[in-house]
Structure 1
Amino acid sequence: MGKNYLKSSLQNASFNIVFQVLFRCVTFILNAFVLRHVSQAVVGVMNVRLLLLESTILFLSREAFRRACLSKTSEHNWPQVINLLWLMVPLCSILSVFFGYIWLYVLVAPSTSITEHYTLGVWAICVSCIIEMFCEPLYLAAQAFLFVRLKVVMDTIYILVRTFTFVPLILYQPNEAVVAFSVAQILAALVYLCGYYIYFYFYIKNLRNESGKVKDGTSSLSPNKPSKPNYDRRESIDFEEEFPFSSLADFLPSRIENEPPVNYSLVNLTWSFFKQGILKQILTEGERYVMTLFSVLTFYEQGVYDIVNNLGSLAARFIFRPIEDSAYFYFSQMITRDTPIKEQNPKHISESANVLYQLLRCICCIGLVILTFGLSYSKLLLFLYGGEKLIDGPGPLLMRVHCLAVLLLAVNGITECYANATMNTAQLDRFNYLMAILSVSFLCISWVFTTLMGGVGFILANCCNMSARILHSMWFIHLRYKDTDYKPWNGLLPGPYFLVTLFVAGCITAISDIYLFDRHKFIHLLIGGFTFITVLGAWAYEEKTLVSLAVQKFRAKSKKKD
């Protein structure tokens, strides 16, 4: 069972990375084009103020439900889970009205010289968030039953619809960017919703036609007998006999005879994640909340900061987030929350400890590469993205400091992912108290640092926050494995050949940046490419076992296709 979970998790991560890199590159190019038609102040309104509203509503509405309901999915009583998931719709509606009112009547609105359509943008965000909640039961079923490609395809479609709606409208009416933003937001949410329902409609229809094992008009969703899929035979989504939904009506809330409408242990776990989610949201979007609530930066400065932040977090969106999502699912299935390590399946514990070690080692190496080359190529990246206007101001310094934050973000993502996937309810509650302390400290440090250093202060405050969270998660992992022979935290120490090669590459590229950037940008880029290949070779030499395993898996997969 563990191998199938691991395979599906790795498959999910790889599909996420490939598809997100491909299509985010398209949106990256289009956004660079838009920057030349929209003022940076309007960018600040859309990408900081309005997207912060969306992030706040969506995270608080669904994150806790997703994390709780993805724990031990093979043991679920699915009617109870579906009933619990539908609570997200009224919760999201209440949060949308509450935060929409705050964004409109409590916070300082942008002046009409920046945009006249701020109110439209706020309500468009609220409506789109509510629309997305209607497909959450289908989303979670897709995750639980390992529909590895579906989530990636739907997320990609969502991005494409929003981007290719927004860009033409911007070119047609550059002065009404917020209107274009609002139209694109709602249209993308509707397409996303319809996509999930259409997919499962035809999937269930095919099950009926091909297997003949689900009778028309009879639901296979038994409220008294939870579905227990046979994961050993599962490949992608080919598991018709175990899929417990016989029609789209099974994804709707229902009355369950002789049992509670929801699983109360899942409710308690959801509540723990919800309390933690409030604090985590403050920590994740802390700088945007400080910008929005205290107006420490103008909308123009917010726009510049957001552009740099988006560029600096490309690795987090492309690589780290897909890996974290898949790792969370893997660890939550392999390790039981309420059972000591010594009392669990030794094979599962050995495999999960090795996976954690390898993840930490790979993530740390990726973060160090980004930090090293980011110091020398931040200015070039900003120049290619937005032209001279982005490198004349504080942009290059912001980008360089952000590279340090990316390294810490990468390590924190994996360590905290393991902790959240394996903590019991009591440990999660204690973690919530720590997050509360970190949240208050982070906001205070952000305000002080930003007052003294501007946008750089936000990034440095975030680095302090990430460091504290890493220390806590590593301490939890240490306690988890202290009575065993496993030491997965050693994955944070890359090999010596890799570190030496990376140091030399950093020195060479720094000299190139000083002497070649202004007059010979292409040569500067070639030097970076050559040193990057050298660093990659050093890493592959030290990770021969991992690389050879990956090559074997790739060859075996290619032979199966042939």
Structure 2
Amino acid sequence: MARSFLKSSLENATFNIVFQILFRCITFVLNAFVLRYVSQAVVGVMNVRLLLLESTILYLSREAFRRACLSKTTEHNWAQVVNLLWLTVPLCQLCCLVFGYVWLHVLEPPSEDITQHYALGVWSICVSCVVEMCCEPVYLVSQAFLFVRLKVVLDTALVLVRTAIFVPLIVHSPNRAVVAFSVAQLASATVYSLGFYAYFYAYIRDRNRRAALRKKDGPAPADDPDDDFPFRSLYDFLPAKVDGLPPIDRRLAALTWSFFKQGVLKQVLTEGERYVMTVSSVLSFREQGMYDVVNNLGSLAARFLFRPVEDAAYFYFSQMVHRDASIQEQNQKHMAESSGVLRRLLRCIASLGLVILVFGQSYATLLLALYGGARLARGPGPVLMRFHCLSVLLLAVNGITECYAFATMSTGQLDRYNLLMAVLSVSFLFVSWALTTLLGGVGFILANCCNMAARIAHSVIFIRDKYSSTAYNPLSGLVPGRLFLLALFAAGVVTKISEEYLFEDHKLLHLCIGAASFAVVLLSWAYEERELVALGVGKWRQRRASLKQD
């Protein structure tokens, strides 16, 4: 299979961004709908307690395997990789037993006044996680062989099935919201897993049919793209004996173990505030529901834009840069390209994060009022949203710098980084508990900012040292252009004055002033980054031309 990793990574990011926009729009409307039917306490149970259980099980069961097995996929023995990936199923079952018991018998359950179906919610999460793990080998093959659209289609199907089941059940029985959540969770996980197997069954069947037809016409050409796909049957996705080799690749197993140790700590850092909420009960379920609503609104950009870009960037850098070789020892054409991609990514992400930070200070209250009404816009909501904007900026920068570091660190460097992550994890939990006790929900956000700042510092030092003896300077992308920064500062002053004097009586005018200010900021950025804009326009035109030809 002829591959262009940069092209496929960009395509993957584009499709994922489109999907995430769709997904977040559906979730955005769904949450607004749910808030009008169920209490904030029930929202806290579903969106904080139960989804934290799902996140914990899935991350610990599969994230390390995905990161390790997506490194240098052209060099894999796929039978060994499949055997390794099936270890995710018993690992997931073990996690379900351990964390299911903790969620049911160790943590304080919600009172029956909030919900009587908490146990059903816990076990539905556990079963759905095991179902998803059964398609992990097929999922990874789809990623490695660049079946970009397949993942997007099935992710969309998962969201649509979950929504189509959850909404009618909520309307019919608002007091049985957790039951509706559980049924939707199980159904969507089943559709998602079966979808992967159904697609590859049809793909392999058609591929084998084409091979049989070509065989009648003589030997296949040397550059036949079908020969690059090593799977001839769905049975090839099942564990099997590997002739003359160990059942699993020991190098990949060692890399997986390094990522797993790191993943435990990263999960604590990523979901730290939810763990603190869940374990220490510093916030009531109602307060957790309020925090979750504001957190989801404040993290829209991070979820539908930053994460897909990070996933595509990790895949790209892991293919272009060897982990165990210095920059000078590698293909210099690849190094120049990857350095330029990293610099441009940092420039775009940092600029977007700054825009969110500046405009969020003046439009947090308006956003909450439009989303959840006056009740959501009063009290601590706007303050939480403004602090979230700072968190989004740090999250954006941390995502790109850390994904490059993880994609290019050697196994030894990953192990040393685990020690730092351990220190950060303990520190983060302590700081979260202390700041939340003093400041409430804002304390969670400030603790998260401290955590991400420390991780950014480590990744920046790693990247700086890696390129220290070369002519490349990708970290220059962290500082946007002067004209853009000047326009952004002016926009921040104008919109803050507008909020102070116009928001209460002239909300539409306040919104129009923000739109005009944003247009000025966008034009200033486009002028300074005209080379990047021209490149993007050229790629878009090429894409349109190729679609017309097809």
TM (norm. structure 2) is 0.97
Partner SS, residue 246 of structure 2: coil
Partner SS, residue 504 of structure 2: coil
Q: How far does residue 19 in structure 1 lie from its aligned partner after superposition?
A: 2.2
Query: Residue 175 of structure 2 aligns to which amino acid in structure 1?
Result: N
- 1:240 paired to 2:226: yes
The correspondence for 1:523, drawn from 480, 491, 509, is 509
Q: Is the 8 A contact 1:5 1:330 kept in 2?
A: yes
Match runs of 1:346-425 below 5 Å: 346-425=332-411
Match runs of 1:202-241 below 5 Å: 202-212=202-212, 239-241=225-227
Change (3 A) 1:400 1:331: same
Q: Identity, % of aligned pairs? A: 66
- 1:481 paired to 2:470: no
Q: Is the 8 A contact 1:359 1:414 kept in 2?
A: yes
Partner SS, residue 59 of structure 2: helix
- 1:501 paired to 2:487: yes
Q: Is the 8 A contact 1:378 1:400 kept in 2?
A: yes
Match runs of 1:543-558 below 5 Å: 543-558=529-544
Partner SS, residue 518 of structure 1: coil
Change (3 A) 1:214 1:34: farther
Q: Is the 8 A contact 2:72 2:318 kept in 1?
A: yes
Cα deviation per residue 1:182-210 (whole Å; 9 max; x = unaligned)?
Answer: 00000000000111111111111111222
Match of 1:177 in 2: 177
Q: How far does residue 389 in structure 1 lie from its aligned partner after superposition?
A: 1.2
Work out the CA distance in 2 between the residues paired with 1:535 and 1:214: 57
Match of 1:295 in 2: 281
Q: Is the 8 A contact 1:312 1:402 kept in 2?
A: yes
Work out the CA distance in 1 between the residues paired with 2:354 and 2:50: 33
Q: How far does residue 314 in structure 1 lie from its aligned partner after superposition?
A: 0.6
Change (3 A) 1:3 1:356: farther
Work out the CA distance in 2 between the residues paired with 1:19 and 1:276: 28
- 1:27 paired to 2:27: yes
Q: Is the 8 A contact 1:214 1:246 kept in 2?
A: no
Unaligned runs of 5+ in 2: 216-221
Paired residue total: 543
Q: Is the 8 A contact 1:208 1:214 kept in 2?
A: no
Q: How far does residue 212 in structure 1 lie from its aligned partner after superposition?
A: 2.5
Match runs of 1:133-144 below 5 Å: 133-144=133-144
Q: How far does residue 3 in structure 1 lie from its aligned partner after superposition?
A: 8.2
Query: Residue 155 of structure 1 aligns to which amino acid in structure 2?
Result: D
Q: How far does residue 557 in structure 1 lie from its aligned partner after superposition?
A: 2.0
Q: How far does residue 121 in structure 1 lie from its aligned partner after superposition?
A: 0.3
Cα deviation per residue 1:374-399 (whole Å; 9 max; x = unaligned)?
Answer: 11111111111111111111000000
Q: How far does residue 180 in structure 1 lie from its aligned partner after superposition?
A: 0.4
Q: How far does residue 2 in structure 1 lie from its aligned partner after superposition?
A: 11
Match of 1:227 in 2: none
Cα deviation per residue 1:262-311 (whole Å; 9 max; x = unaligned)?
Answer: 00010000000000000000000000000001010000000000000011
Unaligned runs of 5+ in 1: 216-229
Partner SS, residue 522 of structure 2: helix
Match of 1:218 in 2: none
Q: Is the 8 A contact 1:61 1:88 kept in 2?
A: yes
Q: Is the 8 A contact 2:63 2:260 kept in 1?
A: yes
- 1:461 paired to 2:447: yes
Q: How far does residue 102 in structure 1 lie from its aligned partner after superposition?
A: 0.2
Work out the CA distance in 1 between the residues paired with 2:289 and 2:518: 31
Partner SS, residue 227 of structure 2: coil
Query: Residue 500 of structure 1 aligns to which amino acid in structure 2?
Result: L
Change (3 A) 1:55 1:357: same
Q: Is the 8 A contact 1:162 1:188 kept in 2?
A: yes
Work out the CA distance in 2 between the residues paired with 1:53 and 1:561: 43
Query: Residue 488 of structure 1 aligns to which amino acid in structure 2?
Result: P
Query: Residue 45 of structure 2 aligns to which amino acid in structure 1?
Result: V
Work out the CA distance in 2 between the residues paired with 1:553 and 1:341: 28
Work out the CA distance in 2 between the residues paired with 1:60 and 1:321: 18
Identify the range of structure 1 (547-556 vs 138-147) with the bigger mean alpha-carbon deviation.
547-556
Q: How far does residue 498 in structure 1 lie from its aligned partner after superposition?
A: 0.4
Match runs of 1:31-180 below 5 Å: 31-180=31-180
Q: Is the 8 A contact 1:335 1:344 kept in 2?
A: yes
Q: How far does residue 474 in structure 1 lie from its aligned partner after superposition?
A: 0.2
Work out the CA distance in 2 between the residues paired with 1:177 and 1:383: 25
Work out the CA distance in 2 between the residues paired with 1:210 and 1:518: 67
Work out the CA distance in 1 between the residues paired with 2:345 and 2:2: 17
Match of 1:429 in 2: 415
TM (norm. structure 1) is 0.95
Match of 1:278 in 2: 264
Q: How far does residue 25 in structure 1 lie from its aligned partner after superposition?
A: 1.1
Q: Is the 8 A contact 1:272 1:428 kept in 2?
A: yes
Work out the CA distance in 2 between the residues paired with 1:3 and 1:412: 29
Q: Is the 8 A contact 2:53 2:99 kept in 1?
A: yes
The correspondence for 1:339, drawn from 325, 328, 331, is 325
Q: How far does residue 213 in structure 1 lie from its aligned partner after superposition?
A: 7.3
Q: Is the 8 A contact 1:309 1:399 kept in 2?
A: yes
Cα deviation per residue 1:320-378 (whole Å; 9 max; x = unaligned)?
Answer: 00000000000000000011111000001111011100000000001001111111111
Match of 1:221 in 2: none
Query: Residue 101 of structure 1 aligns to which amino acid in structure 2?
Result: Y
Cα deviation per residue 1:467-519 (whole Å; 9 max; x = unaligned)?
Answer: 00000000000110011011111100000010011111111111111222222
Q: Is the 8 A contact 1:316 1:410 kept in 2?
A: yes
Q: Is the 8 A contact 2:2 2:225 kept in 1?
A: no
Identify the range of structure 1 (11-20 vs 359-368) with the bigger mean alpha-carbon deviation.
11-20
Match runs of 1:306-317 below 5 Å: 306-317=292-303
Q: How far does residue 51 in structure 1 lie from its aligned partner after superposition?
A: 0.4
Q: Is the 8 A contact 2:262 2:418 kept in 1?
A: yes
Q: Is the 8 A contact 2:277 2:283 kept in 1?
A: yes
